[in-house]
């Protein structure tokens, strides 16, 4: 089985060809970061237009790199939400057109499920497992017992952790995207210098909160203005240390909340690329008898290989979608929500 995957939910246009033996035949991407940097974040209409310009050439490149044609495909999988609806529509309408023209199965994929099941692509991971999904827009613990089977254990009550990284990066005047830049800055800092709060640490459950931590960083920065380069590095490291403490504490609570016989703890999403957080969570797993799993860095951020893989997982189960599927700007893994009418 060979599947074309398409991803256009935010600021990266991606296409990939994946085979059901877990071989990624091609995985190509065009980043829109330079176009959005002047604005300090993603401009939805600008993103949608860029997807429209880039997607068709990118699909052609993915096919060439994989040395296959549309006639060799067994299905088309595409991110159908959640995300910026303009970009999602570009991907979905392209996928529907190819599926209709070639009489191929069309699979509408939840972007979050792409991240959730990446470990099954890269590590042949068995069900069930515990998942920490951390990105710019999402932060949640989920018990995963099968394709489409997710139980929410806890989530952020305010900012997602990636959002907090980006907002703190702006305090230091770092360019978009702020998360990777802040991680680099923290590498030369002393994470013990500044005392910052650990929101919800020690509380029951495994919900998370990062808004207050972000505000605390801003107040410390204002108190020490003007910040020297070392001040910035130390404050960045102190912030990252606080985030790691929070995630570690909440993960330990999640370990205790699972109903299924879970052995693997998976960390996925863009923030899973952060080396300091990976190290802390890996050490936690080693101490408590869990097997730590994180995708390779290139598959932590948005990509189409993960979307193609979900397409394979669903087709194996005989699941596909009709061409009247309605894209969804909001689409939680653990429940249903209405799509966006195209009429």
pLDDT tens-digit readout, 275-314: 999 999 999 999 999 999 999 999 999 999 999 999 999 9
In a domain, 335, yes or no: no
Quick one: 262 and 155 in the same domain?
yes
Domain count, the chain: 2
CB 159 within 8 A of CB 201: no
Quick one: 149 and 295 in the same domain?
yes
- Output the six-digit token pair for 82: 């959640």
CB 116 within 8 A of CB 130: no
- Could you report the per-residue pLDDT of 331-343, keeping only the tens digit for each? 988 765 444 444 3
What pLDDT score does 316 carry? 97
For residue 158, the SS3 value is coil
Mean pLDDT of the residues in the chain:
93
Closest CA to 231 of 166, 185, 168: 185
For residue 336, the SS3 value is coil
In a domain, 337, yes or no: no
In a domain, 230, yes or no: yes
Contacting residues for 183 by C-beta, under 8 A, at least 6 apart: 165, 240, 274, 275, 276
In a domain, 340, yes or no: no
DSSP state of 137: S
Structural domain of 109? 2-117+301-316
In a domain, 108, yes or no: yes
Quick one: 312 and 266 in the same domain?
no
Q: Residue 175's pLDDT band (boundaries 50, 70, 90)? A: confident
Closest CA to 114 of 327, 336, 333: 333
Asked if pLDDT for residue 15 goes beyond 80, the answer is yes
Q: Residue 168's pLDDT band (boundaries 50, 70, 90)? A: very high
Quick one: 177 and 113 in the same domain?
no
In a domain, 42, yes or no: yes
Q: Residue 46's pLDDT band (boundaries 50, 70, 90)? A: confident
User: Rg of the Cα trace of the chain?
Assistant: 20
Helix H or strand E segment including 16? strand 12-19
For the four alpha carbons of 184, 190, 191 and 194, in that order, the dihedral sign comes to: negative
CB 79 within 8 A of CB 88: yes
Quick one: 176 and 252 in the same domain?
yes
In a domain, 17, yes or no: yes
Quick one: 294 and 184 in the same domain?
yes
Quick one: 196 and 295 in the same domain?
yes
What pLDDT score does 42 carry? 76
The runs of H, that is alpha helices, within 139-271 are 161-171, 178-186, 211-223, 229-257
In a domain, 334, yes or no: no
Euclidean distance between CA atoms 85 and 269, whole angstroms? 20
Euclidean distance between CA atoms 187 and 189, whole angstroms? 6
Quick one: 269 and 194 in the same domain?
yes
Q: What percent of the chain has pLDDT over 90?
A: 85
Q: Residue 63's pLDDT band (boundaries 50, 70, 90)? A: very high
- Output the six-digit token pair for 7: 């991803």
Residue 260 phi/psi, 5° resolution? -80, 160
Distances (CA, A) of 167 to 171, 183, 196: 7, 13, 16
- Output the six-digit token pair for 245: 């403490």
What pLDDT score does 341 carry? 42
Quick one: 135 and 237 in the same domain?
yes
- Output the six-digit token pair for 286: 């080693």
- Could you report the per-residue pLDDT of 86-119, keeping only the tens digit for each? 999 999 999 999 999 999 999 999 999 999 999 9
Closest CA to 295 of 117, 95, 153, 145: 117
Residue 305 phi/psi, 5° resolution? -60, -40
Quick one: 307 and 184 in the same domain?
no
- Output the six-digit token pair for 205: 């459950």
What pLDDT score does 335 carry? 62
Closest CA to 163 of 269, 19, 322: 269
What CATH number is given to the structural domain containing 85? 3.30.420.40
Asked if pLDDT for residue 33 goes beyond 90, the answer is no
What pLDDT score does 343 carry? 34
What pLDDT score does 64 carry? 98
- Could you report the per-residue pLDDT of 223-281, keeping only the tens digit for each? 999 999 999 999 999 999 999 999 999 999 999 999 989 999 999 999 999 999 999 99
Report, as an integer, the average pLDDT of 18-47: 85
Quick one: 188 and 292 in the same domain?
yes
Work out whether strand 2-7 and strand 75-81 pair parallel, antiparallel, or are unpaired.
Answer: parallel
Closest CA to 299 of 145, 114, 30, 61: 114
Quick one: 28 and 99 in the same domain?
yes
């Amino acid at each position: 089985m060979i599947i074309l995957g398409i991803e256009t939910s935010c600021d990266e246009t991606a296409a990939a060809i994946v085979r059901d033996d877990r071989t990624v035949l091609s995985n190509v991407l065009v980043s829109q970061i330079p176009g959005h940097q002047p604005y300090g974040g993603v401009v939805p209409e600008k993103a949608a237009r860029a997807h429209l310009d880039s997607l068709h050439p990118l699909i052609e490149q993915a096919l060439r790199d994989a040395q296959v044609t549309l006639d060799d495909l067994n299905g088309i999988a595409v991110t159908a939400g959640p995300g910026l609806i303009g970009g999602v529509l570009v991907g979905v309408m392209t996928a529907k057109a190819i599926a209709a023209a070639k009489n191929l199965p069309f699979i509408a994929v939840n972007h979050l499920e792409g991240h959730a099941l990446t470990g099954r692509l890269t590590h042949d991971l068995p069900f069930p497992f515990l998942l920490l999904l951390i990105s710019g827009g999402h932060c949640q613990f989920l018990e995963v017992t099968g394709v489409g089977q997710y139980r929410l254990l806890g989530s952020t009550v305010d900012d997602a952790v990636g959002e907090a990284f980006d907002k703190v990066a702006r305090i230091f005047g770092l360019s978009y995207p702020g998360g990777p830049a802040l991680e680099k800055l923290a590498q030369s800092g002393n994470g013990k210098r500044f005392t910052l709060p650990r929101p919800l640490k020690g509380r029951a459950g495994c919900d998370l909160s990062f808004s207050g931590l972000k505000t605390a960083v801003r107040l410390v920065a204002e108190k020490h203005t003007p910040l020297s380069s070392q001040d910035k590095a130390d404050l960045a490291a102190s912030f990252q240390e606080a985030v790691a403490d929070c995630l570690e504490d909440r993960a330990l609570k999640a370990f205790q909340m699972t109903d299924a016989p879970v052995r693997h703890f998976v960390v996925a999403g863009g923030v899973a690329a952060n080396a300091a957080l990976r190290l802390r969570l890996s050490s936690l797993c080693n101490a408590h008898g869990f097997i730590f799993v994180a995708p390779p860095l290139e598959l932590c951020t948005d990509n189409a290989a993960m979307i193609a893989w979900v397409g394979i997982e669903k087709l194996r189960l005989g699941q596909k979608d009709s061409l009247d599927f309605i894209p969804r700007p909001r689409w939680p893994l653990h429940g249903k929500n209405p799509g966006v009418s195209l009429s």
